[in-house]
Structure 1
């Protein structure tokens, strides 16, 4: 839904009285009965009601503010990742030896993870005294022999010199993770893919399968249906990030319900029920549009604004097969045009006069 503060035209630190006054003024201005020529009047009126419903409840308002802050942090983190990916794509890959990732990381850390090979290399390496003795014997030899040996050593060096190549970035990351965690052979899991998916109440009722795109360009279908509501977290095994030599991460999807005719509160659905003054005072029988079709509703006599009528079993489906409720919230309305009799009656009640 749109930012409720923007919908009501109040600041984020506005008090409850200011929010209530702003909603009353906006509801009167955009009510469908006073805007017959505007096809979007109902949408604006419903949007105003949703915004007021969220901001008048301290718990819902606090949760919304927290979610907005978290969403902003996620957007900033995504921007940083995208910038890093663009820089990595634009810059040429560094040239390294064709040693594998484990050898390269061992060289950087100063410790060879292959202990047996390191011991063998250490034993094969000549000691300083042996090197000095060999050097003395070499200097005692003939110059031609030295030149020939030098040529052979140069040739051998050229043959054993590793070719220059590029180590795969994913292999380097995997090696670093294994080095930090202290286990080379153990299979580790790549990071999870965390994302949001936006659905409507109708999508949940129809068991739709919305899609999201992974950074690798893969399309993932998210199952929604029984047990799905606002803020529900769906974990899809091994559908997240891929990193070489690591088990694929999971996809952790948070469900967000888009604004519409209904407001989601757990598995209950809330909807506005506009009622005129005479029907609110005397009571009436009317109908309301539920998620599965029209439903009869009885408005009790002397029903004030924000009073609710609960219709059981007309909400979202739970995992155990039960359904939430449909909650109709009464919105008290004035007539389209001023009524002289009603004005006189209200004046007499306020001033203590009786006709």
Structure 2
């Protein structure tokens, strides 16, 4: 992966809020649901998600800034000086009379019958190789990654904690949700993928998918909901209970409430940095009412008023 700061288009001094805002814009533009037939958009979405996954983790970000890990979250190899194996840069190709660590791994792999299962190209980093031991102590052919989608309710995302996710091999995992997790964000679980007979196992890549909520509509971190009221409550005013992700609250509706505008409850949206917008809707009695119809005819004929041009 490219430098995560470049992927998100932010400076290395960017705040957590700036990083989150940059990711949200990219995720919205390149989300697979918005670009079902565009592989390029899918790739950009995955790249942005991986970059956010690293930079949103304070520990990983600090390690990356210090050069201790690469953009994939793998440890960097410090080397053994100019004359040792560390003299070749990661991914370097052999020069005159020289060889790369990847060549060594290929020779090592030939003792097990050639290429890894499935003929996949072996990937290798110096951090997985101990030149003094002569064997692949921590690496070798890494197992395949598992991919899975985790359906997450807005309540679970808001509260945090863990959710149960079933991997393709049937294994159930309790996955801790990152703080302020985003829809479409990818969570990498190290070593929870396909085992490898001679190397380390692959990872599990869990993509978060927010479930459709029966009460709230998500708009960024803002929430929107409808509040039904009677005609007399709209005219005379009332107090009504309104649901939020933290429990219901009481809302004062003034007499003659303007139902054309949403009522805003600040800080009652997702993660507390979004707001809750309440759309008031007048509901008439079911089946009609003769007295109400008579009153409305009187109102129409004796006290008309305009609400449209």
Task: Please state which band the TM-score falls in when normalised by the shorter chain.
Answer: 0.3 to 0.5
Higher relative helix content: 1
TM-score between both structures, scaled by the size of structure 2: 0.48
TM-score between both structures, scaled by the size of structure 1: 0.43
